[in-house]
Every structure is written in structure tokens, then in C-alpha cells.
Amino acid sequence: MGDPVGNGKANGCHNTNGQRMEDLKIAIIGQSNFAAEVLELLLERDHLVVGVFTIADKGNREDVLATTARQHRIPVFKFPAWRRKGVPIPEVLEKYRSVGANLNVLPFCSQFIPMEVIDGASYGSICYHPSILPLHRGASAIAWTLIDGDERAGFTIFWADDGLDTGPILLQKQCPVYSDDTLDTLYKRFLYPEGVTAMGEAVDMIAAGTAPKIPQTEIGASYDPALFREENQYLNLNRRALDIFNFIRGLDSVPGALAIIETEDGAEVPVRLFGASLSARRSLANGKPIHFKGAPGEAYVTKEGIFINGTDDQLVKVKRLKRGNKMIQASQWFEQVDAKPIPLELTEKEQEVETTLRSIWKSILKVEIEGETDFFACGAGSMDVVRLVEEVKDTLEVPVSNETLFMAPAYGEFLQVIVTLLRRADGNREQGIDGDRSGPTFATTTFKHVLLKANKREIRVPTQLFINGHFVDAECGKTLPIVNPSTEQVLCEVAAASKNDVNAAIESADEAFRTVWCASVSARERGQLMYRLADLMEQHKEELATIEAIDSGAVYTLALKTHVGMSIDAWRYYAGWADKIEGTTIPVSPAKPNHVLTFTKREPIGVCALITPWNYPLMMLSWKMAACIAAGNTVVIKPAQVCPLTALKFAELTVRAGFPPGVINVVTGTGSLAGQALADHPLVRKLGFTGSTPIGKRIMTSCAESNIKKCSMELGGKSPLVIFADCDLEKAVRLGMSSVFFNKGENCIAAGRLFVEDRIHDEFVRKVIKGIRTMKIGDPLDRATAHGPQNHLAHLQKLQEYCGIGVKEGATLVYGGRRVPNMKGLFFEPTIFTDVEDHMYIAQEESFGPIMVISKFHASDFDALVARANNTEYGLASGVFTKDLQKAMRFAEKVEAGTVFVNTYNKTDVAAPFGGFKQSGFGKDLGKEALNEYLKTKCVTIEY
């Protein structure tokens, strides 16, 4: 058991004046990190440690004190016991005496040390005790400090005698007990770090001959029952709420307050309670009753936890329960009780998994692994948890976390979790969910869906609401038809959310924000989830583009590149921002002689609602949501009523990516009901909207009247595009056509009005007509198609009315202006109007379709031209084509638009901010600026 004697330290100590202190030969008797740090501190202070005595190895795992001593070549002795039947073991005494110690230091010792050892050192023995002696003598002192509701905690270093913590006091230190303190917080904040330092101070005092021996008074003395005995761990529920709370937090670390739940069938289920707090709640209307044995009334299970009534009618909230060896969320008590574990009849493949998992556990714990082997009972620490989780993820490709182990610390339970995850992943593959194992799987793989057979693919798309990580039916099973604009045939029925459905989604997002999203997921982990989601979107981009083509009429090639491609870019771009959101320090004038530090924090807002349009279903979702999530918010999104399918497929991918339930929710349905419910809800603190200006005004009113929620608006546009005669005409024609006809004109920044210099007007029009005639109109899945169907019938009819007004007011219809004849589907001809005067309806109002509106101008009056371009209530985008840099820069300075394109158009990038002025709205999508829409700034000022 002993190592060869050796020590790299000097054989003596010196005081701060450089004078020689009396030599000490120290034996350290104890265990744990606490004792190891005391050893390190004594060596740093140049004390001589002649031997370390600690507990026997657990399997092949030795205590950290022994490991630390070996590193310093200090003799190590490991005894399972010092006494046998109350009598010192002779060979143990002999080994202790062999080191010749004259001072025993017991920083943390769980063994009974014989008085022959305590008195065997000429300078005696000093012990660390976690209480302010003589209060709370005994082994459970820290716990009783909390149980008794003491206002002060502390520790004592005393001279050991033959009593129970009754020896003379050497030194004491104290700290306040806060209302949210537990065993762990007291230990980490004060008892551990200050205790280690104090042990060093005590040894210094002994070496200097200044250590006092203050007899303990019996005034205020107490000896409390040992809480390692189970009979002392039972919680008395017939007490005030404060007393119940104190008892639970007093046992919060180990072993947990013990209580009995009496089930409806008469069974008695022992549980241990953790994570208690006094609650200000007074109403438990949504709670489900549960009865604890010995309690005067019912407790209630809610989504927040279990609420226990004290005799004073105050409430104690409990967050976690331990049933057997398994920790569960208290809020999930009934789900856990009703859950039926999957029988572990392992397949041949699963037996290989079990062999691998067992070897990982064994390599970490250094013990033989049985089903009941408890990871933490074997002495594992925080770094062991990290190692296990990472090895399991890397080796078995299973999405586990630290929480997985905390909830299933026994090997058999942990194995069951792993097998369950693997079986669900296999079930996902059988259900057409491809079996990605990069994140949690669905609680059920039987969600309702439509099977789209198109583009040489079979794509399974959910058709239910997505709330709290699950696909669920709308209230009363209400649905809406989804129409394929290419065929005008109903694709499927999708859930139509009610106000109650929207409320449930918002409450789910709020709960996720206040718990797991803010408390458990770091900014960097948030970014990693976003990268993982982007990777999954990349893997499924052909499916997503196909859905966009079928559901919204987008040309497949365009959908692949822009609708989906730019969506992926947005998630990756904002994933990089997630851990780079910073505040600033601000120089302010202090009130001398004091100093002042003022800094800002950038914090997430909370629950954000997003309402997106039908022209770019997935891209608009991604532009807004990626910035929202990167900033640390949770979200409820209502996609467009007429084309929600990519949003629902996206929801499925978020589960695979590992997003916790409630962080992302999708409610499909009508704007008047579901959208309005989002705008009205008081828990929603930010609303992002893209759509028409009239609807934007209504939403802003609701945001103001509900709770003055922050909002950002990307609304209508009538973007001017000015083409000077000195331009590259071929490029101007090509990009001018794109500015109008891109995405069949359903483009928020489409050039709503072209100003073409009179010298090139006619030639420009001829070239555009020629270009239109080469455009293939038809099936958006056909790779040769350049122009697909309009999104829905009401929009097609609006375009027909728009063209009728243009003709009636005197504009010249040069081309198109009608539905494509003899073709099934919502196809509208690319259209050109010329001779458009500024007062005309089509010069002022947005068509949001493939309609080119052209006006002439004379280049002699530049300011008049700019005034005409600005003569609209919209200010989203603009463009100019010219080789004259001065003209281009003057135009860019004077035009009232959020985006200015020079010799290009439609060239957006996820890093460039996007948003308009005037009645085109306010706030930005994309770029760093978009993060501001989903953050709040807090200013902190500290005087010192």
C-alpha cells in the first residue's frame, strides 16, 4: 500500500520574515478533491508532507488524493478501515507510525480514525468541519444548516479529541446563507474554496506557534441526526412551506429528500425530491392532483413541476424527482408512470452496441459494469461525464447529452435509453424519415403526412401543426386545402390552427425560452444546432425544392438555387453569429472619488412570432428565423396559408437537428385567425412580418394594443429601375427582364416601374419582347421552364384586374396581360405596359406579378427623374443602369429606398441588410443588422 518515501519539497518552512519555522512532518488523512487541493496548497507553502492516508480503491479507480500524492512522490497508504470491531488494526497503526508524522491534517475524512492515531502526532490532529461549531455537530452539518434555516453558514478547523466534533477551535469562517442556496452552492461558493485556504492558514499558524486552542462552549451546541440514515431522510409534509423547502434543499445534492407518492391504485412509490423553490403561484387551475403520503392535502403536477402546499397555504415547487435510480422531470411524473419501457431483448446488432457501450463505461470507471452500476456512485466527476457523452456520440452516433446521463445514471437504464434512440431512428427510416441520428427523434413516427410523388421522388411531408416538438392535429381537427398551382388540384389538407392552438404553441415557446433554451444551451451550442440544421437542409435540398415547386409554383431550378440555397446560406451565416453577439463598455463620468463601469448586454427578447408570405415560403422563413434563433429567442411561425408545406418539412428537420421541443413551433392556418392570435398574444414580445402594407398596418395596431410588442415590417414595394442610354443595353435588357419576371414576378423587390431614357426606349422594348418570346412557360419541375404558375387563383385574378385598369387608364399594353390560353394551371403571360404616366394606378401600385411597367424620361433633368422615382409611398429597392459613375452615385444618394442596385438587380446576399423605407416598412432582414431586430440592449452601471 505504501510508495517509496520521497518528496520534492524542503524539509522545513519559513515565515513571511524569512525566519525558520519549527519543522512539521504532516500526515494527510482524507479523500476527495478537497483533500487533494489541501495537499497541493501545503506543498506550495513549502510544508513537508510525509504520508497520505486515504480510502481503498473502488475497483481499479483510486481516490484523487492518492493520485495527487503519487504525482509528488509522497508515500500513499490505502486502508479500507482503521479499526476492526472498535479496535485499531495493528498493521494499520504500524504503517501510520512508519512515516513519523508530528501533525495530522484531516481535510475531509469519512473514516473513523483511532485515538491512537489522533493523539499519535506530537502536535495533534486538526479537522475541517462544515459548520460553525458547536452548532451542528455531526456528519450532516451542512445539510442541517439549510434544514434549520440558518442565516449564517461556515466551517470550523478544530483540534480533534475523543468527542464528536467537540475539540478546541483553531479558526472559524462564516458566510451568509442565501434564499436560493443548496448544498452544492454553499459548498462551491464558500465551504470548498475558503476551506482549502483556511487549512493552509491553520497549518501555517501551527508551524509559527500561533495556533489557538479555544474550548468549545456548550451554549448553542447541537448534535444533529446523521442524514446518511434513511429513516432521517423522510420529508415531513405537515409543515410550513418554508420548512418543506428548507428540508428539500438541505438534501438536494445527496441523497435527496424522501417522500412517498400514493397512486390511484393504492401503490406506494418512494421518490426523492430535488430542485425546490418557494413559489409565488397561487392558482393551480391547470394542475393534475397527486397525493403524498402524510400530506394534509393534494399536490399538483404542472408543466413547471410539482407544487406542494404547506400548512400555511404557501407553495413549494419541485423540479425533479428520483424514482429508484432514475431522475425525471417532476412535470413529467404522469408520463413517466404511464410510459412502458421497451423490453431489452437485444438484436444481434444491438448486442454489438451493448458491448461497445459497456467497454466505454469500463474504460472510464475502471470497474466491472453491471446493470445496476451507477455512474456517479462509482466516483465519476464532471470530466468523466463529458468524456462518456462525447465517446457515445462519436462511437455510436447517438444524440445524447449530459442530461441523458443525469436522468439515467445506472448502466442498465442508460443502455435502455441508447437502444430506444437507435430503435426510433430505425423506425424513422422505415417511415421515410431517413434515419438521421444527428438529433432527437420524434416521440411517434406516425404523424399525419402527404406523400408527394414528383420529380422522380416520393417525399413525405407532415400536414399537422408542429407544437412543442410534436406534430399534432388542430383543435377539432380543422383543416385547409392546399392546391398545386400548376394543376389546380388539391394536394392535401393541412391543419388550420385555432386561437387555442396558437396559444399552446406560444406557451410552449415561452416555457422553452425560460428553461432549456436559455439555461442549458450555450450560444456556441446554439450555433452548432444551426449548422447541423443547415447540413440537413443541404442533404434534403432536392426534396425541399420539389416541395416549393409543387406547393408555390416556383421553377425547380430557381427553387434549388434561391428558395432553398439562400435558406441554407442564411442558417449557416447566422450560426456563425450565435456566439459573437457582444455588448460594449461605455466611458461615463464617475462621481469622484468613486469609479464607474458602464457596459451593455445584448439579450434575446423571448418568444418571437413570425408571419411569412407565399412568394418565397422557405427563404422568408429562414431569413427571419435564422437571425431570431441565433439571437437566442424561441419562435412560433405562421407560414402563408396557401403554401405551408416546406415550413412543415423544415419543422421535421429541426427535430433531427436536435432543437429542444418548444424552441421552434409552426402553426398553419389563416392570417385572420392564427396570424391575428400571434399579434394579439401578450407572451409574444417581437413580431416579424413580411406581406402587404395594409395587413402590416393592421398588425402594427395589434402589436401596439396588445403589449407594445416590438415589430419589424417588410411590406409592399414599387421599386424604380432607371435605365440611362449610356448603359450596357444587352445587360440592361437581360437584368431588366429579371428585375420584373424573376420568380414569375412574385418578388418583393421586383422593379415595379422602369424608367427608360427616351433615346433607347423603343429598342429596349423590342429586345424585351424578343426575350419574352423565348421564355418557356409551363411545368415548374421541367428543367427548361423559365416561367411557372402564379401562386394561387386569387392572385391570378388580381393580376387580370390590374391589367384591365392599366388599359382603361390609357397605358399601352404591348404584350401579354392575360392568363395563358389553352393551358391548365394558374399561368399568366409575362406582360409589358408602355406610355405609363405618373398619375396612373399601375404607376403607383404594386402588381406583385410578371408585369413590366415602362415610362420614358429625358436625361436633361436628373433631379426631376429622381423625384419621379421617389413619387411613391414605397421605398423597398431601386436600381440604375449607367456607365457614368457620377450619375450612379448621385442616384444612390437621392433615391428613397433601402436597397440600391447599380448595373445589376436582384443581387442579394445573406450578409447584406435588406429592408425598406416609408410604407415598405422598417427593420432589416439579413446581415448583422437583422440581429438587432431580435435583441434588446440592457445597460449595466457599477460604482466601485
Q: Residues with catalytic annotation?
A: 129, 714, 748
- Which helix (H) or strand (E) covers residue 185, if one does? helix 183-186
Answer yes or no: are the C-beta atoms of 813 and 854 closer than 8 Å.
no
The CA distances from residue 15 to 7, 20, 46, 124, 390, in Å, are: 21, 7, 10, 21, 48
Give dist(CA 484, CA 552) in Å, integer.
7
- For the chain, the residue count is 944
DSSP-derived secondary structure for 649-694? HHHHHHHHHTPPTTSEEE--S-IIIIIHHHHH-TTEEEEEEES-HH
- Do the Cβ atoms of 482 and 643 come closer than 8 Å? yes
Helix axes of 348-365 and 411-430: crossing angle, nearest 10 degrees: 140
* CA dist., res. 536 & res. 523, Å (int): 20
Which residues lie closer than 8 Å to 926 by C-beta, 6 or more apart? 570, 623, 627, 908, 909, 910, 911, 912, 913, 914
Q: How many CB atoms lie within 10 A of CB 628?
A: 27
55 phi, psi to nearest 5 deg: -80, 165
The grid coordinates listed for 560 are 434549388
H-run or E-run covering 325: none
Can you tell me the distance from the alpha carbon of 9 to that of 25, in angstroms, rounded to the nearest whole number? Answer: 12
> In the numeric block, which cell numbers belong to residue 173?
469562517
DSSP of 13-59: -B-TTSPBPPP--EEEE--HHHHHHHHHHHHHTT--EEEEEEPPPBT
Residue 195's Cβ-count burial label (10 Å; 0-12, 13-18, 19+) is buried
Strand partners, 451: 460
Strands 634-638 and 664-666: parallel
Compute the Cα dihedral for 368, 369, 374, 380 and give only its sign: positive
Closest CA to 691 of 615, 754, 764, 758: 615
Q: How far apart are CA 195 and CA 176, in angstroms?
A: 15
